[in-house]
Amino acid sequence: MERKVRYDAAFKLECVKLVLEKHYSCNYVSNQKGLNESNIRKWVRFYKQYGSIGLLPRKNQSYSVAFKLKVLKAINNNSLSLRAASVKFNIPDTSIIVKWKKDFTTFGLVGLQPKTRGRPTFMDTNKRKKRKSDKPLTREEELLLENEALRCENELLKKLQALIQAEEKARKRKP
C-alpha cells in the first residue's frame, strides 16, 4: 500500500519554476496556489540542491544509527539549521531530525536505534491457549485439569442460582 501524496511532483515543479524562472515571490505563489509558503521555500531548496529528483515523493525510509548520528553531529559542529540539514542530507522533513534530537538527548545512542513498527507478532502468553502436546498427561496434571473444570462449573451454577433469585425477587415486587 503506497502512501498518499498531497502534492505530486509536477505541481511542485510548476510552483518552483514560477519562483525561479518567472521570479515570483514564494508568498505570491503560495497565495495563488493556496498552500503554505514554507512548503514552496522547501521545494525550491530541494530543487536547487537535487534538481527535479528532489521533488519526487519519498517512501518511508529507515535511516541507520550512523547516519542519524552524522546528521546530529553536523548540526552541532557546523551550526546548521534544521532546514539546512534536511536539504543537505536529503531528509524530507525537519520533524524527523527534531525527533532524532529528542530521542538522542533522552536515551542516548539507544534512542537512535530503529524501532519496531506495527502490531506485535505474538500475543500475550496469558491469553494464548496452551498447545496440546503429544505426551500423555500425568495423573497430577489430569487431576488439576479436572479440579479447574469443576471450579468453573461450580461458579457457573452459583451465577445461575443468583440470576434465578434476582428474577424471583423482581416478580414478587411487581404485583
Helices (H) and strands (E) in the chain — how many of each? 7, 0
Q: 28 and 80 in contact (C-beta within 8 Å)?
A: no
Tallying the residues shown for the chain, one arrives at 175
Confidence of residue 1 (pLDDT cuts 50, 70, 90): very low
By percentage, how much of the chain surpasses pLDDT 90?
26
CA atoms within 13 A on the CB side of 40: 21
Residue 137, number of CB atoms within 10 A of its CB? 12
Residue 3: pLDDT band (50, 70, 90) is low
Whether the predicted pLDDT of 58 surpasses 90: no
pLDDT over 80 (residue 2): no
Q: What is the pLDDT of residues 74-111, one digit of tens each?
A: 999 998 899 889 888 988 888 999 999 999 998 888 88
Distances (CA, A) of 67 to 30, 96, 145: 33, 13, 55
- Average pLDDT value for the chain: 85
* pLDDT for residue 99: 92
